[in-house]
Amino acid sequence: MKEFYKLVEIMKKLRAPNGCPWDREQTIESLKPYLLEETYETLEAMDIGGEELKGELGDLLLNIIFQAQIKEEEGEFTIDDVAKKVSEKLIRRHPHIFSNVTVSGSEEVKKNWDEIKKQEKEHKNRSSVLDGIPKVYPPLAKAYKLQNKAAKVGFDWEDESGAFEKLEEELQELQEAYEKNDRENIKEELGDIVFTLVNIARKLDIDIVDAVMQTNNKFEKRFRYVEKNCNLKESTLEEMENLWDEAKIKEKN
């Protein structure tokens, strides 16, 4: 923990009256885009590991310490208060470790976690089971959260077959909207299809965000191969598609 508190002290010095002008100008609001940027960079580094991940985790930690320092200056809380709060939550939600509760496996652990979490939220005067999802959540992640919360109170299909049937229904509605050239309805139906795809992923226990990121990476890798092996301005679509197929074959080999 020596290095951790060294970082805390560095931030205090940067924010001091005779500290760095830029750091002193920052606010919780101004740090938001940096937090988002560092989070995405950390997600990418997780696929690389090693020094890359270590560096990005450090940048993410810096943002958290930065925010805590600002709040300490405003008299709200300190970084120790942050650590204390999450420590208390971990102890509270792991009664099988820190108390005398017995569990049979990870499924029961998760069930207990959800029940304890539910009890905690009952004290927050929430009017809906859907409350508690941040408004700034990325759309796909929010769709999953909404579906998962609804599923916990029984609003869900018994298995994934219901979700697949719903997808067929939504695709048909999109086709009808397209044939009518109804732009607003097309937009609505596209949204319904994406929402249903998230539902299918949830039922199959697949992280939809991770799946889309994987597809993005795959597209980028293949297109870069096409770009490297032809003149994009002069090549025909057929020539580019042939190179695309080459890239797919190389991946399998």
Query: Domain containing 188 — which CATH number?
Result: 1.10.287.1080
Contact 98, 112 (CB under 8 A): no
Over 70: is that where the pLDDT of 97 sits?
yes
Regarding whether 76 and 52 lie in a shared domain, the answer is: yes
Regarding whether 201 and 216 lie in a shared domain, the answer is: no
In a domain, 21, yes or no: yes
Q: Which residue has the higher pLDDT, 249 or 122?
A: 249
Regarding whether 80 and 46 lie in a shared domain, the answer is: yes
Which residue, chain included where needed, has tokens 């820190």? 98
Regarding whether 222 and 199 lie in a shared domain, the answer is: no
Which pTM does this prediction carry? 0.70
Percent of the chain residues past pLDDT 70, beyond the cut: 100
In a domain, 80, yes or no: yes
Regarding whether 245 and 182 lie in a shared domain, the answer is: no
Mean pLDDT of 29-54: 95
In a domain, 116, yes or no: no
Regarding whether 216 and 178 lie in a shared domain, the answer is: no
Determine the structural domain holding residue 219 and report its residue range: 210-252
Mean pLDDT of 97-112: 92
Report pLDDT for 16.
Answer: 97
Per-residue b or e along 102-116, where b marks 16 or more CB atoms closer than 10 Å to that residue's CB: eeeeeeebeebeeee
Q: Where are the alpha helices (DSSP H) in 74-105?
A: 79-92, 95-98
In a domain, 108, yes or no: no
Over 80: is that where the pLDDT of 122 sits?
no
Over 80: is that where the pLDDT of 150 sits?
yes
Mean pLDDT of 155-168: 97
Report pLDDT for 123.
Answer: 67
Mean pLDDT of 62-89: 98
Instruction: Give ∠ CA 183-202-46 in degrees, rounded to 5.
Output: 100
Q: Which residue has the higher pLDDT, 120 or 107?
A: 107
In a domain, 97, yes or no: no
In a domain, 103, yes or no: no
Determine the distance from the C-alpha atom of residue 239 to the mean position of all C-alpha atoms in its chain, rounded to a whole number.
Answer: 37
Report pLDDT for 230.
Answer: 96
In a domain, 117, yes or no: no
* Amino acid identity at 192: D
Regarding whether 138 and 61 lie in a shared domain, the answer is: no
In a domain, 223, yes or no: yes
Regarding whether 8 and 72 lie in a shared domain, the answer is: yes
Regarding whether 196 and 172 lie in a shared domain, the answer is: yes
Regarding whether 231 and 165 lie in a shared domain, the answer is: no
Model pLDDT for residues 180-217, shown as the tens digit of each residue = 999 999 999 999 999 999 999 999 999 999 999 899 99
- CA distance from start to end of the chain: 46
Over 90: is that where the pLDDT of 132 sits?
no
Pairwise CA distance, residues 31 & 49, whole Å: 25
Over 70: is that where the pLDDT of 28 sits?
yes
Mean pLDDT of 243-251: 95
Number of domains in the chain: 3
